[in-house]
Structure 1
Amino acid sequence: MINLLLLVFTFSFLLLFGELFTSIMYDKGLIFQKEISFRSIFIFLCYCIVIGTFINSIFQLKDILGPELFSSILKGNYHHPKEEDRIFMFLDLNNSTSIAEEIGHTQYSKFIQQTFKTITDSIANNDASIYQYVGDEVVLTWNTEHGIQDNKCVQVFYDIKKAIEKRRDYFMNNFGNLPTFKAGIHTGIVSSIQIGIIKKEIAYHGDVLNATARIQSECKNLGVPILISNSLSKKIGLKLPPLAEIKLRGRKSLMKLYTV
């Protein structure tokens, strides 16, 4: 709405007062400025509203999908299934059930809203796309090549912690709780495609997502806030001894897990 009002104001200002400025460069002014009438102003404002609404809708769609998915959809990349090498992070809010019971479901909804609002800049600054919000959990994804640059796929977790810490007083004063997260991160090949008719979205399919969810669930068992799979640790050059080895459903081999 702000973008729309700004656009209407700017164009209206130029239309009504442009002659004052253009006369400095053109003695006779611009032709259309000599024919201003109530009808022409009304038509021009309607035009600005239509164009402004369209531009504002594009920005809103970009915010909903995220920059990466938005540009991919414009290019038509997801009309047919395609394989991608991607990183996924399952970011889960700690103690969500107890917090909801303590503050009530209405306040809890506001708590979740403000939490996700607080971490948005950290997500955007690390070039992550938000794949899904699932209750108190958010799933982030990167193209693997981009996600491992400067270890963005790991750095985002610590940037989120810093962002929340900066709003500690707000959360404690309003909710009596400070949001904290646990995260599992994994990488691999997935199939991606655009699904839905009335409500469209990009869906990813593959064992990578199931494995990432399982890795995240191990955080609580191992008492650490973040776990990284062996395949991702190799790509980002993590040189630490594995914290644990787990057997994923449907797999015979064990997967090594690391924390940072």
Structure 2
Amino acid sequence: MDGFHCLRGKLTALAWIVAGGALAGLVYVALLANVGKFPFTLQAARNGLINGATITGILGTFEIFVWHAQAGAPLRRLPFPVRVASKTLVYGLVIAATLTTYNTWLLAHTVEVRDPWLYIRENLARDTLFSMAVVLLFQFVMQMRRLIGGRVLTNIVLGRYTRPREETRLFLFVDIADSTAIAHRLGDLETHALISRVFFDLDAVIARYGGEVHRYVGDQVVVTWPLEAGMANGRCLRCALEMRRLLERRALWYRRRFGLAPAVRAGLNGGPVVAGECGDARIEIVYFGDTVNTAARLEQTAKALDRWLLLPTTLADRLPGVPGWRREDLGPVMLKGRDTPVTLCAFEPEAEAAPAPAPGRAAAAA
């Protein structure tokens, strides 16, 4: 189900990219006709649409299904100047090849011309430069979507968060367990490399389950969903569980690279929040409210209770079971900063027998 939604989202994004490319091609032909390069005919408009749609279709498919997919992970880890130079070169070659193939074929079958090399001599360089500019614009928009999230970018552009507004959202706080001990063992540089690689790997899981990375704070990542989207098919819970499974599957690789296998702790909570823009030179969407604070406290309390994932029982009751995992009810727990206890539960792999909390330990979790 989640894979279907992920694929549907990618195909939708590709459709928008192709439509935008076709429109850009049409506008380009209209501009050239306006300055007297050739008359604006139905055939000229068709050629602009085909060129624009073909170029953005090819490059958009590569971006979405290769570069930003698992297959493109090694490419995305290249140094930034290498990535930019490589993509610029490859994209320029693809654009030039596409334009040359279509337009030389078109001229070869035009009765009035029948000179397939005329396009290369007179128009290829101009059309390639314009196409590169359009592609770079699409690249910029896609990069902005990745940096701040597509929904956040859209809402900032539309001014939705100019004034604070109430929303109902889910929040998943995830941090790397025993990060202080890891830093003492590996040193700051290697610890940063480890954290960066963990979050790089977890990002694929977050995207698969439709989550949005709200922010990275040191060794912690905060993921959020609109409440209904995150509850559908237990997506928020499945995302958290898959994070642990992924790190378990990659434990051998981490031991070979860093000498240890990282683990995560998490807290999941949902409810009403207030969202709004903060900042001037750098604008950020900030969420306020007890829902966010409780999610953060749950992640902190997980260490005290020797659990890796905690969430309120009221939230867990609304989520479907996940095969391979068992729910463990922990009872009321007093969280720091709260006047009343919260009834919590944890999820553990069925093969594991999680130790029961010692008497009085739950109350001491604050």
Q: When the two structures are superposed, what TM-score results if normalisation uses the length of structure 1?
A: 0.88
Q: Over aligned residue pairs, what C-alpha RMSD do you find?
A: 2.7
Q: Residue 3 of structure 1 contacts residue 52 of structure 1 at CA under 8 Å; is this kept in 2?
A: no
Partner of 1:190: 273
The structural deviation recorded for 1:178 is: 1.0
Question: Which stretches in structure 2 are left out of the alignment for 5+ residues?
Answer: 1-83, 348-366
- Identity over the aligned pairs, expressed in percent? 24
CA change 1:223–1:7 in 2 (3 A) is same
- Which AA in structure 1 matches 2:152? L
- Which AA in structure 1 matches 2:253? Y
The structural deviation recorded for 1:116 is: 0.6
Match of 1:156 among 222, 232, 239: 239
Structure 1 window deviating more from structure 2 (185-194 vs 72-81): it is: 72-81
What SS does structure 1 have at the residue aligned with 2:329? Answer: coil
Partner of 1:259: 346
- Which AA in structure 1 matches 2:181? S
Partner of 1:124: 207
The structural deviation recorded for 1:63 is: 1.0
Q: Residue 335 of structure 2 contacts residue 341 of structure 2 at CA under 8 Å; is this kept in 1?
A: yes
In 1: Cα distance, 2:256 partner to 2:327 partner:
39
What SS does structure 2 have at the residue aligned with 1:190? Answer: strand
In 2: Cα distance, 1:201 partner to 1:86 partner:
17
2:99 matches 1:12 = no
- Which AA in structure 2 matches 1:45? T
What SS does structure 2 have at the residue aligned with 1:252? Answer: coil
2:183 matches 1:100 = yes
Greater radius of gyration (CA): 2
CA change 1:46–1:220 in 2 (3 A) is same
In 1: Cα distance, 2:255 partner to 2:89 partner:
36
What SS does structure 1 have at the residue aligned with 2:273? Answer: strand
2:339 matches 1:247 = no
2:192 matches 1:109 = yes
- Which AA in structure 2 matches 1:22? L
2:165 matches 1:82 = yes
- Which AA in structure 2 matches 1:162? R
2:248 matches 1:172 = no
CA change 1:30–1:180 in 2 (3 A) is farther
What SS does structure 2 have at the residue aligned with 1:158? Answer: helix
In 1: Cα distance, 2:255 partner to 2:211 partner:
28
Cα-to-partner distance string for 1:15-70 (whole Å, 9 max, x where unaligned): 333344325764457999845546x4443333233222211111111111223323
The structural deviation recorded for 1:8 is: 2.7
Structure 1 window deviating more from structure 2 (51-60 vs 61-70): it is: 61-70
In 2: Cα distance, 1:30 partner to 1:145 partner:
60
Partner of 1:63: 146
Q: Residue 332 of structure 2 contacts residue 342 of structure 2 at CA under 8 Å; is this kept in 1?
A: yes
Q: Residue 19 of structure 1 contacts residue 33 of structure 1 at CA under 8 Å; is this kept in 2?
A: no
CA change 1:252–1:30 in 2 (3 A) is farther
- Which AA in structure 2 matches 1:164? L
Match of 1:212 among 278, 284, 295: 295
In 2: Cα distance, 1:28 partner to 1:170 partner:
63
Aligned length: 259
What SS does structure 2 have at the residue aligned with 1:235? Answer: coil
- Which AA in structure 2 matches 1:125? R
CA change 1:139–1:53 in 2 (3 A) is same
Question: Which stretches in structure 1 are left out of the alignment for 5+ residues?
Answer: none
Match of 1:223 among 306, 318, 342: 306
Q: Residue 328 of structure 2 contacts residue 346 of structure 2 at CA under 8 Å; is this kept in 1?
A: no
The structural deviation recorded for 1:147 is: 0.6
What SS does structure 2 have at the residue aligned with 1:80? Answer: coil
Q: When the two structures are superposed, what TM-score results if normalisation uses the length of structure 2?
A: 0.64
Partner of 1:143: 226
